[in-house]
Structure 1
Amino acid sequence: MSPRGGQRALAHALLERHGETFAAQSGIRVGNTPQPLYQVLVLAGLLSARIRASVAVAAARALFDAGMRTPRRMAGATWQQRVDALGEGGYRRYDERTATQLGDGATLLLDTYGGDLRRMRKAADGDATALRRALQEIPGMGPAGSHIFLREVQGVWPEFAPYLDAKAVQGAERLGLPGDGRQLARLVGPDRTAAFASGLVRAALDRSVVEDVRKAAGA
């Protein structure tokens, strides 16, 4: 098998076995409408903390199951309701601070963008740096959270694609794949780049994913 063929085999094995986006894992059907975009924002903030991704996903699901699916519903919930939902998802280490940030962030989003992240996108005008800067004005959304958000929405905001940040590239390098985002994206095509990026992040976080993918690809 040629080196390029070997890379494609690894990429497709990763997609097949570990290529579910974190949004899909959280029950979010990503689309270019306010509610799913906000849900991805919440998830990105939760994932950016020093906590297992599985716990962040469970906490996001618990918040959404409790009805906090929009900025208005999040801002309208009590602080204790947000704490309780986070706790139900196992997100206990940061629950009190995160409950405050979720409320403050929802209020800021409502006041500044009418609760619609598409307005933030329009203001960024295709500039990923500008968009990341705007995202980081939201309480609880640091650099890591802004990267996660863009990774997850690149399928519906294509001007920012392919979006493979440093964590995704770290996973690629562990698998022996190129360390360049555009080269990586060409291995799978534009429709699957978000799922591929999530798989690469899992490879960066868990060495057993690397071993599993190498075995499946015969590498």
Structure 2
Amino acid sequence: MTSVSLWAVGMTTAPRKLPTLEQSIHSLADAGWNEPRLFVEPETEIPGAAQSLPISLRDETLGAFPNWYLALTELVLRQPLAEAYFLCQDDVLFASGLRGYLEQRLWPARKVGVVSIYCPSHYANEKSEGFHLENHGWDNWGALAYIFPNSSARKFLSDLLVLNHRGFGPAEGMRNIDSVVGLWCQRSELNYFVHTPSLAQHIGDTSTIWMRGSNRGRRRAREFCEKIDVTGVAQY
């Protein structure tokens, strides 16, 4: 385990019937990150308080996976020496004080592909507190809040099958971020870690991908840690 202090942080966002971007930005600030770069799909309303943040505005709609992949690429190219690349979505709440907690606990193993601080409800069954493995390949769930070590981010972005997802994947390669990441971890023999209890909560009740998507069932954390300190004391 090595401590992390140098972050590159981004948030992808797209138009929603019920916008949650402002709430997510405020929550991320309470968690410890005040200036995420926003990766913005066309026609997304940017709240006034967020307009001073660094913004990468797409000139045409890319879709969930392309926007996310380009966002991670841009973070790596803008901050090539970052120790952790944290890329989240615009419909998430985060545990207050999260940054200090993570900076003392990353990374949970030597071979880490990705850490998900969001734990879907079906991953939480009878799990002890802390990081645990969920190496399910294509069947991995939950791309709301991923953290990549520097070397893993670079390996992921340059992987041929990851690059081919846009041209040959399901749904024209527009979605399945979690599946692509999970399968890459499995093929690369790198671990996919999830934290229990969840350090992030899904709040978007409308999906930018699925017509009938909501934040219920497997698309919501069963236990969400609303506040945490560096000693690991959590409040639910």
* TM class by smaller structure: 0.3 to 0.5
Q: Tell me the TM-score normalized by structure 1.
A: 0.32
| Higher helix residue share | 1
Q: Tell me the TM-score normalized by structure 2.
A: 0.31
| Higher strand residue share | 2
The structure that has the greater radius of gyration is 1
